[in-house]
Amino acid sequence: MAVGTQYLAEQQPKLSTTSLVLGAIAIAALIAAPFFFYPVFLMSILCFALFACAFNLLIGYVGLLSFGHAAFFGGAAYYTAHAVKVWGLEPLTGILFGAAGAAAMGLIIGFIAIRRQGIYFAMITLALSQMFAFICLQVPFTHGEDGIQGVPRGHLLGIIDLNQPLSMYYVTLAIFLFGVFAVWRIVNSPFGNILKAIRENERRAVSLGYRVDRYKLGAFVMSAALAGLAGGTKAIVFQFATLTDVQWQMSGEVILMTLLGGIGTMIGPIVGAGLVIALQNYLASSQFPVTVLIGIIFVICVLLFRRGIVGEILELMKRKPKGNV
Amino acid sequence: MVSTQPILSATGLTMEFRGFVAVKDVTLSVNEGTIHALIGPNGAGKTTVFNLLTKFLTPTRGQISFRGNDITGLKPAEVARLGLVRSFQISAVFPHLTVLDNVRVALQRPKNLATQFWLPFSSLSVLDDRALELIDAVNLSAYAHLTASELSYGRKRALEIATTLALDPAMLLLDEPMAGMGHEDIGRIADLIRRVAKNRTVLMVEHNLNVVADLCDRVTVLARGEILSDGSYATVSADPRVREAYMGTEHE
């Protein structure tokens, strides 16, 4: 039974003391970070990290590869930007409005795509998000190629001035932490247990009476809403929303971030987003073409460490003699 | 115990796949409280019949009724909710979940604890007593906290049965519950099936004719998608057509 007890400790998603301490250190580091790094750079990482976490909720815990998540991220950025700039909404309300818009889109796109599996699911999400990108190019409120520029950051709840970089940073950090906690809670909940069961053996879940399409759609909408939360926040941070965020390259980028960090791990997507954004930032001033390097990293990742950076580390840590009883 | 009231009946079931008739005009009724076997040579269409009865396939023609309700147009999840629950030929567990979690997944739906995405995982512990009881019933108590993939084949089948029983179904459909099992495991699973059938109906596909003779009240023989014979084991085993169908194949 010694083996069993040891396994129990690994399997149960209770927070161990070690992970609590590590989490506390990470949060402390994030709080101190703007004194050492450029806040806009950090906020960019936080937005993309949350986006990647939202994407990971779907691929890592339901096993659905969406190739159209840019529609939720970029769509929410447009909604938030429009609501804040044109309607004069308070920034947090604007961000929540963006997330709600993304959730509504998730409901529609998910409803159509969820009926198919594997590559077909990916293709349908890609097609629908491309359709959305085209709509964004055509409709007047997005201002086509220009995008929505000059979005005011305003005052959070009418009190905190978000034009102060530090205030903006801590608000972004709070939203990020909320989003990551939401993903963690969803994954480690009664609902999450069913999601895992569906990922493991869908037919068996059906034979136990679960209407699996509803669970998948639920997860899809939650993932879209959280991606929207990230997109809306980004629109406030950078004060604009453009076509870049709704195009398929963005969907590809979030896949890369998640894959690089580790699909199905809690912090993998955060690490992956950090690396990709840092690389892009670092190489932006050099002559080296970023896309080539990103492509090379992608190939190396697929060939050598498929579990991603965090995934491989976790695997090394828990490697133990295997055998059936 | 054995009643003559049919709990499940199928009339004129036919399944065609692009011109190939896998199941042809099968009329079958399973009486409440019995253990009913579906046997036949390989390729006879037994698993297809199972898939039709549990709605994993939609019949080209024919009608199915369960406890007096027409279930022909229902989806598989709905059929399961009515109390007609199946197992699969290849062992159907959730491999990376623990034994305990496997059973809890089945308990979550009937206990309305499946959609709460805001509750902590520990809220599932209210299901532990019942889950451990079921795990104990299939002699897996010592392995409750192992992941299912670590279990031997026979124990995986036992776990599958515990998971199915968690739904407390009126009727169980077991697709080759003893396939690929050693002698010892077969005896254990046969005992288990006999125990759970005390207050349920069981329909099982099985190749091991000794098990069928020993366990089942009634046997339906299927060959080339059609019903060849139906009755007690003694009746069907004496049927010359059944002997002919099995001739030259794996049995005798």
Q: What is the pLDDT of residues A215-266, one digit of tens each?
A: 999 999 999 999 999 999 999 999 988 888 888 888 988 998 998 888 888 8
- The answer as to whether A302 is a domain residue is no
Q: How many angstroms separate the CA atoms of B193 and B74, rounded?
A: 27
Shortest alpha-carbon distance between residue A192 and chain B (Å): 7
Q: Which of B245, B242, B226, B232 is nearest to B62 (CA)?
A: B226
Q: Cβ of A200 and B96 within 8 Å? A: yes
Domain assignment present for residue A283? The answer is: no
Nearest-CB residue to B124 (from A3, A193, A323): A193
In a domain, B205, yes or no: yes
Tens-digit pLDDT string for chain B (252 aa): 445 678 998 988 899 888 788 888 889 989 988 999 998 888 888 889 988 998 889 989 899 999 988 999 899 999 999 999 988 877 789 999 999 999 999 999 888 888 888 888 888 888 999 999 899 888 888 999 999 999 888 888 889 888 988 888 999 998 888 877 777 778 888 888 888 888 899 999 988 888 888 889 999 998 888 888 888 888 888 888 888 777 655 444
Location of structure tokens 């989003």 = A179
CATH of the domain at B205: 3.40.50.300
* Nearest neighbour of A7 by CB, restricted to B87, B92, B145: B145
Q: Is residue A55 part of a domain?
A: yes
Domain assignment present for residue B214? The answer is yes
Task: Print the domain residue range for B163.
Answer: 6-246
Which of B81, B67, B74 shows the shortest CA–CA distance to B110?
B81
- Say how many C-beta atoms besides its own lie within 10 A of residue A244's C-beta: 13
**What distance in Å separates the CA atoms of residue B209 and residue A214, rounded to the nearest whole number?**
42
B10 lies in a domain?
Answer: yes
For every residue of B75-89, DSSP letters joined together read -HHHHHHTTEEE--S
pLDDT in tens, A109-139: 999 999 888 889 999 999 999 999 999 888 8
pLDDT computed for residue A2 by the predictor:
34
B206 found inside a domain: yes
**pLDDT score, position A172:** 93
Q: In this predicted model, which residue has the larger pLDDT, B246 or A78?
A: A78
Phi, psi of B9, deg, nearest 5: -140, 140
Number of structural domains in chain A:
1
Q: A16, A62, A309, A305: which is closest to A193 by C-alpha?
A: A62
pLDDT digits (tens, 9 = 90+) for A270-310: 999 999 898 888 887 777 787 788 888 888 888 888 888 88
**Overall average pLDDT of the A86-101 stretch:** 92
User: Mean of the pLDDT values across residues A49-76?
Assistant: 93
Whether B146 is covered by a domain: the verdict is yes
What mean pLDDT is predicted for residues A168-174? 93
Cα–Cα separations (whole angstroms), residue B48 to A201, A261, A301, B42, B44:
20, 43, 42, 12, 9
For position B102, what pLDDT does the model report? 94
CA distance B95 to B159: 11
User: Does the residue B119 lie in any domain?
Assistant: yes
Q: What is the DSSP letter of A244?
A: G
- Would residue A85 count as lying in a domain? yes
Residue A8 has pLDDT above 50, yes or no: no
Domain of A120?
38-247
Residue B182 lies in a domain: yes
d(CA B135, CA B189): 14
A266 versus A105: which is more confidently predicted?
Answer: A105
> Is residue A96 one of the residues assigned to a domain?
yes
- Give burial (CB, 10 Å; 0-12/13-18/19+) of A29: exposed
Shortest distance between the Cα of B67 and any Cα of chain A, in A, equals 17
Task: Write out chain B residues lying below 8 Å of A201, CB-based.
Answer: 92-95
* Residues A111-129 as b or e (16 or more Cβ within 10 Å = b): eebbeeeeeebbebbbebb
Question: Across the interface, which of A191, A197, A215 has its CB nearest the CB of B97?
Answer: A197
Q: How far apart are CA A247 and CA A242, in angstroms?
A: 10
Number of domains within chain B: 1
pLDDT grade for A182, boundaries at 50, 70 and 90 = very high
The half-sphere exposure of A233 on its side-chain side, counting CA atoms within 13 A, is 29
Contacts of A14 in chain B (CB under 8 A): 121-122
Whether A210 and B77 have beta carbons less than 8 Å apart is answered as yes
Which segments of chain B are extended strands (E)?
Answer: 6-17, 20-31, 35-39, 61-66, 69-70, 84-86, 171-175, 201-205, 218-223, 226-231
B251 domain-assigned: no
Cα angle value B239/B232/B176 (rounded, 5°): 95
- Is the per-residue pLDDT at A29 higher than 80? yes
Backbone angles phi, psi at B14, to 5 degrees: -135, 135
Element (H, E) at A155: strand A155-156
Q: Which residue of B75, B99, B121, B143 is the best one to mutate when testing the A interface, meaning the one whose CB has the most A CBs within 10 A?
A: B121
pLDDT of residue A11: 44
Q: Is residue A298 part of a domain?
A: no
**In this complex, how many residue pairs, one in chain A and one in chain B, have their CB atoms less than 8 Å apart?**
133
